[in-house]
Amino acid sequence: PTGEKQDKRAVDWRSRYYLWADVVAGDWHYLKRHMPDEMWGKMVLTNTTTEEDVAFLRERGVKRLITTTPRLNGRSFGTNVMEALLVALAGRELGEEEYLRYIDLLGLRPQVLDLQEEA
């Protein structure tokens, strides 16, 4: 979904797949759009989440949120944004080994948030 459709939830027949799976992975806007109200004990693997999205997942009982990019200023960015950052830093197109070197050099790591830990 794009634009305003990203904010509209459409819990429908797709919800059964969320309930069936232990790990739900994909585009955040699509996942959120079709996510059922109860996701107790599930893991979500995605990107481009905000603090509000983390609260949304916590309220639904999601156990763990994994993003493939680090959280910067309260938001996990898309992999394409991180890739563009590295290309801009290098000033040229990069190969796989160069990407890995920059990722290591900058300390870019996935983020794992345990959402149901007791405070």
**Which of the two residues, 69 and 21, has the higher pLDDT score?**
21
Confidence category of residue 6, pLDDT binned at 50, 70, 90:
low
* DSSP-assigned letters across all residues of 30-44: HHHHH--S--TT-EE
State residue 100's pLDDT score.
94
Mark 49-68 as b/e (b = at least 16 C-beta within 10 Å). beeebbeebeebebbbbbbb
36 and 19 Cβ atoms separated by less than 8 Å: yes
Structure tokens at 73: 């200023």
- The domain locations on the chain are 3-76+109-114
pLDDT tens-digit readout, 24-48: 999 998 999 999 999 999 999 999 9
78 pLDDT more than 90: no
Q: Is pTM beyond 0.95 here?
A: no
pLDDT tens sequence across 44-71: 999 999 999 999 999 999 999 999 888 8
Which of 60, 59, 78, 56 minimizes the C-alpha distance to 69?
Answer: 78
Tokens of 83: 């890739």
User: What rounded mean pLDDT belongs to the chain?
Assistant: 90
